[in-house]
Structure 1
Amino acid sequence: MRLHDIVIGALISCTSSANSHSLPKARNDIDTQTVPWKRAQAVKEAFEFAWHGYHTYAFPNDELLPVTNSFSNTRNGWGATAVDALSTAILMESQDVVTTIVDYIPTIDFNVSKSNAPVSLFETTIRYLGGMLSAVDLLDGPYQHLTQSPNDTIALTQQAVNLASKLEFAFDTPTGIPSNNLNFGEESFDLSQSTELAVAGSLVLEWTHLSDMVHRVAFANLTQHAEEYLLHPTYQNATIQPFPGLRGTNIDLRTGNFLDVSGSWGGGDDSFYEYLIKMFVYDPGNFTTYKDEWLEAVQSSALSNISSHPYSRPDLTFLASWNGQDVTLVSSHLACFAGGNWILGGLVLGNQTLIDLGQNLTDSCAETYNATLTGIGPEAWEWEDKNFFEDDDEEVDMFIEDNGFNITDASYNLRPEVLESLYYAYRATGDTKYQNLSWKAFRAINATCRTGSGFSSVSNVNAPHGGSFSNFQESYMFAETFKYAYLIQAEDAKVHVAKMGEEQIWVFNTEGHPFKVRDQQ
């Protein structure tokens, strides 16, 4: 019996205007919208409000500091927010924003970092490279009417090649597993510094797609070679390994060995698992092994105590972290992408059990939003599966009893993962409760995080007004948070995750940028 048949059997057995310098006014009727297309327009208006603030006070730097109307450059000063915003602006058909960004991208000099910080191979790939490749697919495809000239996508493609060519030296290690933190000036890196699973395992979609787009197989070969170490893991000094299909986190560049056996579906590991099934969506004929590894990881997570239920809320399911086969009952907002990812796997494999499992995770993550004073979920939390969680604070005890978890990091960093999974759940089920949950979450984000000329991360989602503002607007809010809040309401959009039984034409990278699958190119 083939591996995926064994896995599926086990799963079934366990559960059935851009140039303006005056900022637009905030919408007063955002809380009153009930019709999906009106909700979509309200999300678009929030996106354009945030864009205008960025364009007025920060462009072409990386991020807006919305409280002080200033800017920062945490992504090397190449205009991260602009490039990250492009695919969303295209989907929303925000012509002025699209034109501004498309005109800007060819002017970027990727040879020079404008900050003293190293260049992150991972962040540069998912944000800049992913943003440009997605724009080419969209503007050469269903959104051709938004381009001024065919030369626009030619220029975007050339910039993608320029960037990848500059990044290639990252793979010049004894194993071919890339270093993440790069010194562009000297084209060097620290070989003794390990690379995380999510870094080495979250490049293959973008670099393979670029390879297909420009017919340079070397780009794909670099990342697919590195991925082989992750598909067939070896461990250094490990007597106990993780559950089948799961991995450690840190990898030695010189040997390819995992240096630990600790991991999670959250930060540092998350998008490795995400891309296993997404590479199968991209090309089912050539990435069956990736799909089999993903199914094994899902099976181990679903059938072990990694899938854990809080004692006071047994209706909830959270994915715990692991050290070998020991489990720690902690999770995070980042891990909430898993619900949507499992649903995607169910859609492409025609397996309702996977969809049901993903819905359960998605519903549980949505409950972290329902639990807080602001209506926004926290960055991290813990729980107990037996009733011995005690705290000296009676209010904390009551919160745990009612909601099933204890907040360990109350900040909200404008993250998209819950909105992302709600979108996948709606595409799979058509249940309008997911549209309503997404709208409720977006309203809470708009009410709490909108400040000054844009949106800011906040310190405490369970405090009045979210506590304090960090004065930082993440570029991924444009790429993902706004996009998923928009698409779940905008059923007439030209790009969507396909429903059960329909052909998947698009696959979204981990930054929310949609790519055409291989047989559609």
Structure 2
Amino acid sequence: MLPLHRLAQSQSAPTSKYEKFASWLRSRLATRILSVALIVLFLLFWLFPPFPRYDSVPLSEIFKRPSAGAHYAQDSTEAPPSRVPAAVWHSRAQSVKESFIHAYHGYEAAAFGWDELLPVTNKSTTNFNGWGVTIVDSLSTMLLMDLKDEYTRALAHVSKIAIKIMCTGTIPFFETVIRYLGGLLSAYALSGDAILLTKADELAQTLLPVFDSPKGMPHFGYDPSTGFKAPSWASHALLAEMASCQLEYKYLAHLTGRAEYFQKVDRMMDLMQNSQRADGLWSTYWDITSGTQVNTHLSIGALADSGYEYLLKQYLLTGKSEKRLLDMYLKAVRGVLEKLTFLSSTRDLLYITDTKDGVPEHRLEHLSCFFGGLLALGVETVDLPQQDADLHRWAAEGLTTTCWMTYAETQSGLGPEEAQFKVTFDRLHPLKWMDTVRAWENAGREGGVPPGVKAPQLILGESRSGHRDYYLRSPGYYLRPETVESIYIMWKVTKDEIWRERGWGIYRAIEKHCKTEFGYGTVPSVQYKRTGIADSMPSYFLAETLKYLYLLFSEEDRVPLDKWVFNTEAHPLPVFHWKNSEKALYGIHQ
């Protein structure tokens, strides 16, 4: 019999080659050998990387070779479109018109007078004041599509709206201004029906108490029955909320002669002019009491988008008479291009993103996809310095192309709410677009256009999704208009048929995946060929998405860019010029 201590040793000793190997791995010698091996592998990987290391290569050298990722096998390439006959485009415009009729008639049948239709259950919902937001938001689309019967029924409803009596609670200022006030004013400009101006004036008067704050900044909302002014985001105002009411109120000031309309909203322009950062940008959150910027978040997405949009559009709407707005716009665009615009990791896709504390998020919001169209609009309508015109034109094409590609590369052909661009080993610090432009210029502008402008080949098919330099962070499609808006403006400015074809592809995807028996619904995920449909049909789908698609395919120039300006809800307002008496009253100087 073995002694106890020898028995314990015999029971713990390795009895197989696997146990012997495991025992060796636990030894001190093995630890040293493995550590040295890992260090050697790391050094080899660093010295001979499998991917190009852009951080160690001069930027000027990058643009002398094909873009990374060109070796990927493509399922498809986008051939230049052949000339499509005018009759075909007319037919396509009529198809969009029929889509609008289907959606609006579905709303009329099940939800007329309520705010929005639930297109799957065929029910109604009240979510924007209870005045029938789909009706008012659709007025300008009906008029542009020459839908007389639908417009007549809608006008009868609008004439009966008792704004203060019918309100269902707190009126959200921002959404009410762009959907209701913008819808009423645009329909008035297109039709001349006086009741629309009367209702617009009544609504604007009702909302004025929202500006009762120490610096005149608008509260989130206002309840006319109680006088309660709803605080916004913990007593903070968003840039988009405070700077996206000027088009509507200034046009109404011109129509009615009410100076308070101009003065209330122009105070925000004073505040923004006096606090524009050195880089030309503004923070997303503002203290409503002190009127100061309170965070380091920079964006042209959900919290800020139309605040930047309305700088240029105010300038255009008022006959280019408010010069300071153009100056603010040009400084802001320079800041966006310098600070918020990047190239993707492998295909040099141009995209725009937010930063917090100077750190980029590399997240592209669908809401930000309006920016390419805005830049193109500025190039078309404003006599810009040549350097600015070139930069804006390049960025407009590159950004709009990227936004379109997020549609074209999905299984459904619809675009996601958010795309997250990848940060890869070879680009731990993704390239800022303006840095690459300067390097390209120093290299002699080889190729004729800077990186990020011309689209690479598409990467299609589910099996290839891993090769894309972004993934779908938020995969839902909410019937949003921003990408087709920019595509429409790009078509108007360039007359390149490729933009119309791209828009046609998006429209076909909407028809295939979003249409229900009663209307159109949002899609929870665009990643699949067979998508589900959610029970929501936002009014902006009729006001914006279908309108821009209809105008994109129409042969007639129904809304000339030099005579009309779209508000952020796609309601066209006519360009006007301040009278001399108005200039004196408001202190407007060239």
TM-score range, shorter chain: 0.7 to 0.9
Question: Please, what is the CA RMSD of the aligned residues?
Answer: 2.2
Is 2:218 aligned against 1:154? Answer: no
Secondary structure at the aligned position of 2:419 is classed as: strand
Superposition pairs of residues 228-377 of structure 1, within 5 angstroms: 228-233=270-275, 244-304=279-339, 306-314=340-348, 316-351=349-384, 352-353=389-390, 354-377=392-415
* Partner of residue 379 from structure 1, selected from 417, 431, 445: 417
> 1:487, 1:496 within 8 Å by CA — same for their partners in 2?
no
* Partner of residue 490 from structure 1, selected from 551, 554, 557: 554
Equivalences, count: 457
Map Cα deviations across residues 418-477 of structure 1 (whole Å, 9 max, x no partner).
0000000001100000010001101101111101200001100112322x3220100001
Is 2:168 aligned against 1:134? Answer: no
How far 1:291 sits from its partner (Å)?
Answer: 1.3
> 2:116, 2:125 within 8 Å by CA — same for their partners in 1?
yes
Superposition pairs of residues 499-510 of structure 1, within 5 angstroms: 504-510=562-568
Map Cα deviations across residues 54-74 of structure 1 (whole Å, 9 max, x no partner).
000000110000111110011
Aligned to 1:219: 261
Aligned to 1:150: none
* Partner of residue 479 from structure 1, selected from 539, 543, 558: 543
How far 1:312 sits from its partner (Å)?
Answer: 1.7
Identity %: 32
Q: 1:385 to 1:113 in 2, by over 3 A?
A: farther
Is 2:496 aligned against 1:431? Answer: yes
Q: What is the rounded CA distance, in whole Å, between the counterparts of 2:289 and 2:165 in structure 1?
A: 28
Q: 1:81 to 1:283 in 2, by over 3 A?
A: same
Aligned to 1:205: 247
Q: What is the rounded CA distance, in whole Å, between the counterparts of 2:491 and 2:131 in structure 1?
A: 35
> 1:113, 1:184 within 8 Å by CA — same for their partners in 2?
no
Aligned to 1:174: 214
Unpaired stretches in structure 2, ≥5 consecutive residues: 1-62, 64-84, 429-460, 580-590
| Matching residue's letter, 1:311 | S
Superposition pairs of residues 442-481 of structure 1, within 5 angstroms: 442-466=507-531, 468-481=532-545
Q: What is the rounded CA distance, in whole Å, between the counterparts of 2:278 and 2:357 in structure 1?
A: 7
Secondary structure at the aligned position of 2:117 is classed as: strand
Q: 1:426 to 1:128 in 2, by over 3 A?
A: same
Q: Which runs of 4+ in 1 moved over 6 A?
A: none
> 2:422, 2:471 within 8 Å by CA — same for their partners in 1?
no
How far 1:284 sits from its partner (Å)?
Answer: 4.6
Who wins on radius of gyration, i.e. which is larger? 2
> 1:318, 1:361 within 8 Å by CA — same for their partners in 2?
yes
Secondary structure at the aligned position of 1:195 is classed as: strand
Is 2:118 aligned against 1:54? Answer: no
Aligned to 1:82: 135
Map Cα deviations across residues 65-106 of structure 1 (whole Å, 9 max, x no partner).
011111001101101000000101100101111111112111
Secondary structure at the aligned position of 1:461 is classed as: coil
Map Cα deviations across residues 467-499 of structure 1 (whole Å, 9 max, x no partner).
x322010000111000000001113143232xx
TM-score w.r.t. the length of structure 2 is 0.74
Q: What is the rounded CA distance, in whole Å, between the counterparts of 1:125 and 1:177 in structure 2?
A: 15
Q: 1:204 to 1:370 in 2, by over 3 A?
A: same
Secondary structure at the aligned position of 2:397 is classed as: helix
| Matching residue's letter, 2:493 | A
How far 1:318 sits from its partner (Å)?
Answer: 0.5
How far 1:154 sits from its partner (Å)?
Answer: 1.3
| Matching residue's letter, 1:135 | A
How far 1:268 sits from its partner (Å)?
Answer: 1.0
Unpaired stretches in structure 1, ≥5 consecutive residues: 1-14, 16-31, 141-152, 235-241, 498-503
Q: 1:207 to 1:469 in 2, by over 3 A?
A: same
> 2:319, 2:576 within 8 Å by CA — same for their partners in 1?
no
| Matching residue's letter, 1:376 | L
Q: What is the rounded CA distance, in whole Å, between the counterparts of 1:132 and 1:109 in structure 2?
A: 14
Is 2:480 aligned against 1:415? Answer: yes
Aligned to 2:576: 518
> 1:449, 1:455 within 8 Å by CA — same for their partners in 2?
yes
| Matching residue's letter, 1:506 | W
How far 1:398 sits from its partner (Å)?
Answer: 4.6
> 1:480, 1:512 within 8 Å by CA — same for their partners in 2?
yes
Q: 1:243 to 1:446 in 2, by over 3 A?
A: farther
Q: 1:350 to 1:364 in 2, by over 3 A?
A: farther
Aligned to 1:72: 125
Map Cα deviations across residues 388-444 of structure 1 (whole Å, 9 max, x no partner).
699xxxx9995242x321110000111000000000000110000001000110110
Q: 1:369 to 1:430 in 2, by over 3 A?
A: same
Q: What is the rounded CA distance, in whole Å, between the counterparts of 1:75 and 1:130 in structure 2?
A: 14
TM-score w.r.t. the length of structure 1 is 0.84
**Bigger shift: 367-376 or 457-466?**
457-466
> 2:220, 2:230 within 8 Å by CA — same for their partners in 1?
no
Q: What is the rounded CA distance, in whole Å, between the counterparts of 1:388 and 1:465 in structure 2?
A: 36
Map Cα deviations across residues 171-218 of structure 1 (whole Å, 9 max, x no partner).
111110110122232122245621100000000110000111111121
Q: What is the rounded CA distance, in whole Å, between the counterparts of 2:465 and 2:425 in structure 1?
A: 14
Secondary structure at the aligned position of 1:35 is classed as: helix
How far 1:303 sits from its partner (Å)?
Answer: 3.0
